[in-house]
Amino acid sequence: MRLRSAIGLAVLGASLLAGCPVEKSEALDPSSLPESIRADYAIFSQRCSKCHSLQRPLASGITNDEQWQHYVARMRRQPGSGITITDEEPILRFLHYWGQQELAKKAPHVDPAPSPPPTDGGAD
Protein backbone atom coordinates (compact mmCIF):
# COMPACT_ATOMS: atom_id res chain seq x y z
CA MET A 1 0.00 0.00 0.00
CA ARG A 2 2.82 2.41 0.87
CA LEU A 3 4.56 1.56 -2.39
CA ARG A 4 1.42 2.44 -4.35
CA SER A 5 1.10 5.77 -2.49
CA ALA A 6 4.76 6.57 -3.08
CA ILE A 7 4.44 5.76 -6.78
CA GLY A 8 1.29 7.89 -7.02
CA LEU A 9 3.03 10.83 -5.39
CA ALA A 10 6.05 10.43 -7.67
CA VAL A 11 3.83 10.40 -10.77
CA LEU A 12 1.91 13.44 -9.54
CA GLY A 13 5.12 15.32 -8.79
CA ALA A 14 6.60 14.42 -12.18
CA SER A 15 3.47 15.56 -14.00
CA LEU A 16 3.47 18.87 -12.14
CA LEU A 17 7.13 19.44 -12.94
CA ALA A 18 6.52 18.55 -16.58
CA GLY A 19 3.81 21.18 -16.81
CA CYS A 20 1.05 18.73 -17.67
CA PRO A 21 -2.34 20.31 -18.20
CA VAL A 22 -4.93 20.32 -15.47
CA GLU A 23 -7.13 17.27 -15.11
CA LYS A 24 -10.37 17.49 -17.06
CA SER A 25 -12.39 16.84 -13.90
CA GLU A 26 -11.89 20.43 -12.77
CA ALA A 27 -12.81 21.90 -16.13
CA LEU A 28 -16.30 22.99 -17.05
CA ASP A 29 -18.41 20.84 -19.32
CA PRO A 30 -18.43 22.88 -22.56
CA SER A 31 -21.91 21.60 -23.38
CA SER A 32 -23.15 23.50 -20.30
CA LEU A 33 -22.04 26.77 -21.90
CA PRO A 34 -23.84 28.75 -24.60
CA GLU A 35 -22.53 27.72 -28.01
CA SER A 36 -21.37 31.29 -28.68
CA ILE A 37 -18.87 31.08 -25.78
CA ARG A 38 -17.55 27.52 -26.19
CA ALA A 39 -14.64 28.40 -28.52
CA ASP A 40 -13.60 31.17 -26.10
CA TYR A 41 -13.75 28.70 -23.22
CA ALA A 42 -11.60 26.24 -25.18
CA ILE A 43 -8.83 28.84 -25.55
CA PHE A 44 -9.21 29.87 -21.90
CA SER A 45 -8.99 26.30 -20.64
CA GLN A 46 -6.06 25.38 -22.89
CA ARG A 47 -3.94 28.44 -22.15
CA CYS A 48 -4.78 29.09 -18.51
CA SER A 49 -4.35 25.50 -17.39
CA LYS A 50 -0.71 25.55 -18.47
CA CYS A 51 0.32 27.40 -15.33
CA HIS A 52 -2.41 26.89 -12.74
CA SER A 53 -5.71 25.17 -12.08
CA LEU A 54 -8.76 26.50 -13.85
CA GLN A 55 -10.41 26.91 -10.46
CA ARG A 56 -7.96 29.68 -9.67
CA PRO A 57 -9.56 32.16 -12.08
CA LEU A 58 -13.05 30.62 -11.95
CA ALA A 59 -13.24 30.86 -8.16
CA SER A 60 -11.41 34.19 -7.92
CA GLY A 61 -14.57 36.22 -7.45
CA ILE A 62 -13.46 38.74 -10.07
CA THR A 63 -16.44 40.12 -11.97
CA ASN A 64 -14.95 43.40 -13.19
CA ASP A 65 -13.78 43.44 -16.82
CA GLU A 66 -10.95 45.90 -16.11
CA GLN A 67 -9.57 43.58 -13.42
CA TRP A 68 -9.71 40.68 -15.87
CA GLN A 69 -7.88 42.73 -18.52
CA HIS A 70 -5.10 43.49 -16.05
CA TYR A 71 -4.95 39.88 -14.83
CA VAL A 72 -4.87 38.31 -18.31
CA ALA A 73 -2.24 40.79 -19.54
CA ARG A 74 -0.10 39.92 -16.51
CA MET A 75 -0.52 36.19 -17.12
CA ARG A 76 0.36 36.65 -20.83
CA ARG A 77 3.71 38.12 -19.81
CA GLN A 78 4.57 35.06 -17.69
CA PRO A 79 7.25 32.89 -19.31
CA GLY A 80 5.75 29.76 -20.80
CA SER A 81 2.11 30.85 -20.47
CA GLY A 82 1.50 30.43 -24.19
CA ILE A 83 -1.05 33.26 -24.09
CA THR A 84 -0.67 35.46 -27.16
CA ILE A 85 -2.06 38.93 -27.70
CA THR A 86 -4.69 37.41 -30.00
CA ASP A 87 -5.67 34.94 -27.24
CA GLU A 88 -6.52 37.78 -24.89
CA GLU A 89 -9.78 38.73 -26.62
CA PRO A 90 -11.45 35.28 -26.50
CA ILE A 91 -10.15 34.67 -22.97
CA LEU A 92 -11.58 38.01 -21.85
CA ARG A 93 -14.91 37.27 -23.59
CA PHE A 94 -15.18 34.01 -21.66
CA LEU A 95 -14.18 35.66 -18.37
CA HIS A 96 -16.73 38.45 -18.97
CA TYR A 97 -19.41 35.79 -19.50
CA TRP A 98 -18.26 33.91 -16.38
CA GLY A 99 -18.22 37.10 -14.30
CA GLN A 100 -21.75 37.97 -15.39
CA GLN A 101 -22.91 34.49 -14.38
CA GLU A 102 -21.26 34.91 -10.99
CA LEU A 103 -22.92 38.31 -10.49
CA ALA A 104 -26.29 36.83 -11.39
CA LYS A 105 -25.80 34.13 -8.73
CA LYS A 106 -25.03 36.76 -6.09
CA ALA A 107 -27.92 39.07 -6.98
CA PRO A 108 -30.68 38.87 -4.44
CA HIS A 109 -33.58 36.91 -5.78
CA VAL A 110 -36.72 38.99 -5.69
CA ASP A 111 -40.01 37.17 -5.81
CA PRO A 112 -42.49 38.71 -8.20
CA ALA A 113 -45.15 40.87 -6.63
CA PRO A 114 -48.00 38.78 -5.28
CA SER A 115 -51.05 38.65 -7.48
CA PRO A 116 -53.90 40.83 -6.32
CA PRO A 117 -56.75 38.96 -4.71
CA PRO A 118 -59.48 37.94 -7.14
CA THR A 119 -62.31 40.38 -7.40
CA ASP A 120 -65.94 39.49 -7.58
CA GLY A 121 -66.70 42.14 -10.15
CA GLY A 122 -67.80 44.66 -7.54
CA ALA A 123 -71.00 42.83 -6.62
CA ASP A 124 -71.79 42.71 -2.93
pLDDT in tens, 78-111: 998 999 999 999 999 999 999 999 888 887 665 5
CA 122/CA 124 separation, integer angstroms:
6
99 contacts 59 by C-beta, under 8 angstroms: no
The angle subtended at Cα 105 by Cα 107 and Cα 21, nearest 5°, is 145
Residue 82 lies in a domain: yes
Domain count, the chain: 1
Q: Which CATH number is 76's domain given? A: 1.10.760
pTM, rounded to two decimals: 0.66
Residue 16 lies in a domain: no
pLDDT value of position 28? 86
**Structural domain for 63, as ranges:** 37-107
pLDDT band at 118 (very low <50, low <70, confident <90, very high): low
Mean pLDDT of 51-66: 92
Residue 4 lies in a domain: no
pLDDT value of position 9? 39
Residue 57 lies in a domain: yes
pLDDT value of position 82? 92
From residue 48, how far is each of 1, 10, 77, 103 by CA, in Å? 35, 24, 12, 22
Binning the chain into helix, strand and coil, the percentages to the nearest 5 are 60, 0, 40
pLDDT tens for 11-58 read 344 444 444 444 444 678 999 999 999 999 999 999 999 999 999 999
pLDDT value of position 114? 58
